[in-house]
């Protein structure tokens, strides 16, 4: 298989053609994808009509898929447990309203974050398959956090260097008013502290590591000051020069690195169906301070 890589934005994002995810991959092809991924941070694979099982098999080339710990809101597929549903349609095909608990929780993904940062060993990356895509919004935006770190003004840099921030899964419910995790789910995922500047285990590069939806505290800072700092950092990061905005086509599969990017989705008409299936690659090591 010969693959072709075409850059989509100067900061991050590239399209990969010449891959059929349904077919077995040669080790050399896996390595070529890996190299492109480390270089471009977000890869777009157009026209991949994969089943959930094939999606999971492709994911395993890059690591072990995560099993989402929360079952109470049915965001984890009942059919293939490695699949997380980023959808406003349930597995029977029913369109859900924005008031339903799962939809409230998913609405948090409109704010900048990186998947599963609330885990002691946060996720390596995610692969999202657009099955039913939105035309009224639902654009997935990504930021290159290496570049953001490199360009941080001194006033902000001083506040994050050598500091840790807390990542708490249960912050979601406080943020968007969705039901809090059950006691068992809470016990499975207690809050964790990660460095705000991290070093990438593969590229060795430093990046800013923050989350608007999970950071509820910063070492040595009052809560309101900490929240304001995350907001200020996020505002600095969300500049077009650091951002790739992905406008979906049916059966695009996106693969992004959760260690050096953040993402956020734009709102869309809730009457429009949006069905997307995600796998999430589990982290293999704790976050290393940069």
Taking the complex as a whole, the smallest distance from the CB of residue 121 to Fe ion amounts, in Å, to 17
Between CA 51 and CA 150, with CA 267 as vertex, the angle to 5 degrees is: 90
Nearer Cβ to Fe ion, position 65 or 163? Answer: 65
Subset of residues 12 to 51 that bind Fe ion, contact rule: CB under 5 A: none
Residue 214 and residue 117 in contact, taking contact as beta carbons nearer than 8 Å: yes
Q: Do residues 239 and 141 make contact, with C-beta atoms less than 8 angstroms apart?
A: no
Between residues 115 and 257, which has the closer beta carbon with respect to Fe ion?
115
Q: How far is the CB of 3 from Fe ion (least distance, A)?
A: 26
Is residue 128 within 8 Å of residue 43, measured between CB atoms?
Answer: no
Residue 280: CB minimum distance to Fe ion, A: 9
Could you tell me how many residues of this chain bind Fe ion (CB under 5 A)? 2
Choice between 128 and 229, CB closer to Fe ion: 128
The DSSP 8-state label assigned to residue 93 in this structure reads: -
Closer by beta carbon to Fe ion, 5 or else 139? 139
Q: Please state the closest distance from residue 259 (CB atom) to Fe ion, in A.
A: 14
Using CB under 5 A as the binding rule, the residues of this chain from 101 to 130 that contact Fe ion are 109, 115
Instruction: Tell me the closest approach of the beta carbon of residue 264 to Fe ion, in angstroms.
Output: 8
Whichever of 48 and 107 has its CB closer to Fe ion, that residue is 107
Cβ–Cβ under 8 Å, residues 172 and 72:
no
CB atoms within 10 A of CB 209: 28
Q: Is 82 in the site for Fe ion (CB under 5 A)?
A: no
Say which residues have a Cβ less than 8 Å from residue 48's Cβ, sequence separation at least 6: 19, 20, 21, 22, 129, 251, 252, 253
Least Cβ distance, residue 115 to Fe ion (angstroms): 5
| Six-digit token string for 177 | 């008013």
Nearer to Fe ion, 29 or 109 (CB): 109
43 vs 152, beta carbon nearer Fe ion:
43
- Minimum gap (Å) between residue 186 Cβ and Fe ion: 20
CB-nearer residue toward Fe ion: 28 or 67? 67
Can you list the positions of beta strands (E) in the chain? 4-7, 14-17, 42-45, 84-85, 125-132, 140-144, 164-167, 192-195, 197-199, 206-208, 215-218, 243-246, 253-257, 261-265, 275-281
Site for Fe ion in 174-233 (CB under 5 A): none
What is d(CA 125, CA 74) in angstroms, rounded to the nearest whole number? 22
Alpha helices in the chain (DSSP H): 27-40, 52-59, 101-106, 145-151, 154-160, 171-176, 183-188, 223-237
**Minimum CB–partner distance for residue 27 and Fe ion (Å):** 29
Using CB under 5 A as the criterion, which residues of the chain lie in contact with Fe ion when the complex forms?
109, 115
């Amino acid at each position: 298989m010969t693959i072709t890589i075409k850059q989509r934005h100067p900061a991050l994002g590239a399209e990969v053609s010449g891959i059929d995810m349904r077919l077995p991959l040669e080790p050399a092809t896996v390595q070529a994808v890996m190299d492109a991924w480390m270089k471009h941070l977000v890869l777009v694979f157009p026209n991949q009509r994969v089943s959930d099982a094939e999606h999971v098999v492709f994911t395993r080339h890059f690591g072990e898929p995560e099993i989402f710990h929360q079952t109470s809101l049915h965001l984890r597929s009942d059919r293939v447990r490695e699949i997380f549903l980023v959808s406003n349609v349930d597995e029977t095909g029913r369109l859900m309203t924005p008031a339903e608990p799962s939809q409230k929780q998913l609405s948090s993904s409109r704010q900048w974050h990186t998947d599963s940062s609330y885990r002691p060993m946060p996720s390596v990356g995610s692969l999202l398959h657009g099955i039913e895509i939105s035309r009224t919004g639902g654009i997935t935006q990504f930021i290159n956090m290496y570049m953001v770190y490199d360009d941080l003004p001194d006033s902000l840099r001083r506040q994050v260097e050598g500091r840790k921030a807390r990542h708490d899964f249960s912050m979601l419910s406080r943020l968007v008013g969705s039901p809090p995790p059950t006691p068992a789910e809470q016990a499975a995922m207690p809050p964790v502290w990660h460095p705000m500047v991290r070093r990438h285990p593969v590229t060795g590069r430093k990046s800013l590591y923050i989350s608007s939806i999970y950071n509820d505290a910063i070492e040595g800072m009052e809560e309101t000051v900490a929240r304001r700092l995350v907001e200020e950092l996020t505002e600095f990061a969300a500049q077009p020069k650091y951002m790739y905005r992905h406008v979906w086509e049916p059966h695009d599969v996106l693969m992004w690195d959760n260690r050096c990017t953040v993402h956020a989705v734009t709102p869309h008409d809730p009457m429009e169906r949006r069905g997307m299936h995600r796998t999430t690659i589990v982290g293999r090591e704790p976050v290393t301070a940069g």
